[in-house]
Amino acid sequence: MNEDMNRKTRNFILNCLALAALVAFLLWAPGNLDRYKLRIINLIAINAILGLSLNLIYGMTGMFSLGHAGFMAIGAYVSSLLILTAEQKTSMWILEPIAPWLLNLHAPFLVSLIAAGLAAAFFGWLIALPVLRLGGDYLGIATLGFAEILRILIVNLTPLTNGSLGLKGIPAHTDIWMSYGCLVAVLIFMIRLMNGNFGNVLRAVRDDEIAARTMGIDTFRTRVLAFTIGSFGGGLGGALMGNLITAIDPKMFMIAQTYSLLMIVVVGGLGSITGSVIGSVLITTMLEWLRIVEDPITIGSLHIPGIPGMRMVIFSMLLIAVIIFRREGIMGTREFSWDWFFPKKTKQRPISERPVSDTKGADAG
Amino acid sequence: MNASHSAEARKPVLRIRELTLRFGGLIAVNNLSIDVAGGSIVGLIGPNGAGKTTVFNVITGFYRPSEGSVEFMGQQLTGLPPHRVCMAGVSRTFQNIRLFQNETVLQNVMIGSYVRQRGTWWQNLVPFLFPAAAREEREIRDDAMKLLERLGLAEQADARASSLPYGAQRRLEIARALATRPKFLLLDEPAAGMNPQESEELLNFIRRLRDEFALTILLIEHDMKVVMGVCEHIQVMDRGLLIADGSPEEIRANPRVIEAYLGQSAPEAGDEAGNGVGGFKAGDFKKEEIAHAGH
């Protein structure tokens, strides 16, 4: 018991130290890094938020969803429409006039973030009710369809969304403090959620639905809930993204966006919070770093012209390699623990009973 | 054995009335009526394909009966979804063990307690605002640990469920079912895959369960030693029909049961089996014989 207390205190101190290190980095970064690097650092946090929310749906609860770009779009549009001023809106809507009720709708940034999350969660809940009765690949196709329908709606509902022209001049509210603040909040949320008994229940629904129902779990309700929470995260991430890039249009939220999030989750490890963060760091930096292969390269007398889209080819190959050689991703379902750095004092207890094969052998013989 | 006498005094807690289940043209359960007395251990036996597991699936809400009703302690279970049946106090295990393989032994049991948990998921996100929910969460962990201790699984609390030996997995499945605080437990072939020594231990284990957890137990089993050893009352099914109902002694002597197990030519089958005494024993104890042959 005493040892357990010590461990808790130790972990608390180490967590505080890690947080302090993050704060120190965030203080140091803006003065010492150029804008391009800062943008990537921001994107890492936002992609981690998006990856975590997709992981909650896919990795933790086992619902194969391809609709995350749709939730991002809802979040980005809701947040931007609330932040933009009336003058900005009137000058931007050139094809058709903006809906009058929307013109004077205005909210501060933080409120718009929450509204973005809630709007995405509402849509998530709405489509979850019919769609979550499906399972496996069917669910993937249905959610994919939802995201596409949503994107086409955005293109065509010009009075609300300014159609394919998109929204420009969104104030750049997302700085590294904002994105990492949100990431820490989402991380704490996820850790508390998954470490509680409700986290066990989510994994139970994923692993064996029939057994979960026998244990008195309303699996449909549980899945709808997890899907709704995950959609909230998608909306939040979309809003942060919009306020980072300062311009959004429907093309940003195509299926490719969902795929890169899926890559983060799968490479990091389905069902692992740590994995999603690691996946976000790797995939986000690599997506940027691999841009060099698209530039013309001259090695001595050899001249290779830049091929646009080349990084996606390399990326796909990397993904195939992950799926072939390490299907469970970097972390599998494991989580980071401070215990990794401290040798264990208690020995592994031997399992006294015979293994399965022995029991079976005795019965057959 | 005063079981039969005490069973008479007990009231039925589970009443199955005129239950019929059709899958298209196939009648899986045909006009079945069963009463299970409170606090008893009842066996449901019959040849393969008799419809025993189907009856379990109807009771626990996985199948909706075509006709008839299931009533538990005065509450209608007919048509309720599985999770509501569990809330009503009925829990079960599966013929092919269905543990949450990737979870630890302790987590498996904690998942069982969730059905009685009052604190909600969002309350547990901010435990300092909802101390009652936080306390409940701790109690669930402690209670799960105590349950594992009682069933002799405490040592492996942090091991993954899939890493347990077979017998321990069966016990864990029972522990998980008990965590839902049932009044009625359905065991689907608890002795499957066990050697004779293990099934011998199982007899005492099942009796202990009934006594310590104040349960009524209905079990499906093919191992006749287990059935005859532990059940106070036995129901026999064949091709969806209830063909016999009585004490172990009565069932052992019932010609219809012998016929169901061995087919029309009962004496022949007995001869084939070599040492068949009264036909029934030889054929029905196939499993037992196989087990004995090895020792």
What residues of A are in contact with residue B114 (Cβ under 8 Å)? 197-198, 200-201, 215-217
Over pLDDT 70: what percentage of chain B? 86
Under 8 Å between Cβ of B28 and B50: no
Q: Which residue of B has its CA nearest to A334?
A: B102
Region A160-180: mean pLDDT is 91
What residues of A are in contact with residue B155 (Cβ under 8 Å)? 349, 351-352
The length of chain A is 365
pLDDT of residue A332: 85
What's the sign of the alpha-carbon dihedral A121, A123, A126, A127?
negative
Over 50: is that where the pLDDT of A362 sits?
no
Region B55-65: mean pLDDT is 95
Count CA atoms closer than 13 A to B112's CA, side-chain side.
31
As a whole number, the mean pLDDT across chain A is 88
For residue A206, give Cα distances in angstroms to A222, A349, B214: 10, 29, 32
Contact B81 A365 (CB under 8 A): no
Question: What's the topology of domain B3-261?
Answer: Rossmann fold (3.40.50)
Query: Chain B closest CA to A257's CA: distance in Å?
Result: 30
pLDDT of residue A237: 97
Structure-token pair, residue A111: 């409120």
Query: Chain B closest CA to A22's CA: distance in Å?
Result: 23
Contact B86 A215 (CB under 8 A): yes
Under 8 Å between Cβ of A353 and A362: no
Q: Which residue of B has its CA nearest to A220?
A: B83
Contact B111 A215 (CB under 8 A): yes
Region B181-205: mean pLDDT is 91
Query: Chain B closest CA to A122's CA: distance in Å?
Result: 17
Residue whose entry in the numeric block shows the structure tokens 């989580």: A335
pLDDT of residue B276: 36
Over 90: is that where the pLDDT of B234 sits?
yes
Q: What φ, ψ does residue A348 adopt, rounded to 5°? A: -65, 130
The residues of chain B that CATH labels 3.40.50.300 are 3-261
Lowest-pLDDT choice from A49-63, A183-197, A236-250, B246-260: B246-260
Q: What φ, ψ does residue B2 adopt, rounded to 5°? A: -105, 20
pLDDT of residue A355: 42
Over 80: is that where the pLDDT of B285 sits?
no
> Distance between CA atoms of B16 and B237, rounded to whole angstroms?
14
A207 near B CB under 8 A: yes
Contacts of A144 (CB under 8 A, 6+ apart): A66, A67, A255, A258
A115 near B CB under 8 A: no
- SS3 letters for A288-356? HHHHHHHCCEEECCEEECCCCCHHHHHHHHHHHHHHHHCCCCCCCCCCCCHHHHCCCCCCCCCCCCCCH
Contact A359 B121 (CB under 8 A): no
Residue whose entry in the numeric block shows the structure tokens 């086409």: A152
pTM summary value = 0.87
Contacts of A156 (CB under 8 A, 6+ apart): A163
Contact A207 B102 (CB under 8 A): yes
- SS3 letters for chain A? CHHHHHHHHHHHHHHHHHHHHHHHHHHHHHHHCCHHHHHHHHHHHHHHHHHHHHHHHHHHCCCCCCCHHHHHHHHHHHHHHHHCCHHHHHHHCCCCCCCHHHHCCCCCHHHHHHHHHHHHHHHHHHHHHHHCCCCHHHHHHHHHHHHHHHHHHHHHCHHHHCHHHCECCCCCCCCHHHHHHHHHHHHHHHHHHHHCHHHHHHHHHHHCHHHHHHCCCCHHHHHHHHHHHHHHHHHHHHHHHHHHHCCECHHHHCHHHHHHHHHHHHHHCCCCHHHHHHHHHHHHHHHHHHHHHHCCEEECCEEECCCCCHHHHHHHHHHHHHHHHCCCCCCCCCCCCHHHHCCCCCCCCCCCCCCHHHHHHHHHC
What residues of B are in contact with residue A328 (Cβ under 8 Å)? none
pLDDT of residue B9: 52
How far from the centroid of its chain's Cα atoms is residue A228's Cα? 14
Gap between the terminal Cα atoms of chain B:
30
Gap between the terminal Cα atoms of chain A:
46
Query: Chain A closest CA to B9's CA: distance in Å?
Result: 31
Size of interface A-B (CB pairs under 8 A): 124
Strand arrangement of the beta sheet that strand B26-37 belongs to:
B26-37, B12-23, B67-72, B75-76
pLDDT of residue B211: 94
A210 near B CB under 8 A: yes
Region A187-193: mean pLDDT is 95
Strands B90-92 and B184-188: parallel
Beta bridge partners of A306: none
- Under the banding of pLDDT at 50, 70 and 90, the label for residue B277 is very low
As a whole number, the mean pLDDT across chain B is 86
Over 60: is that where the pLDDT of B2 sits?
no
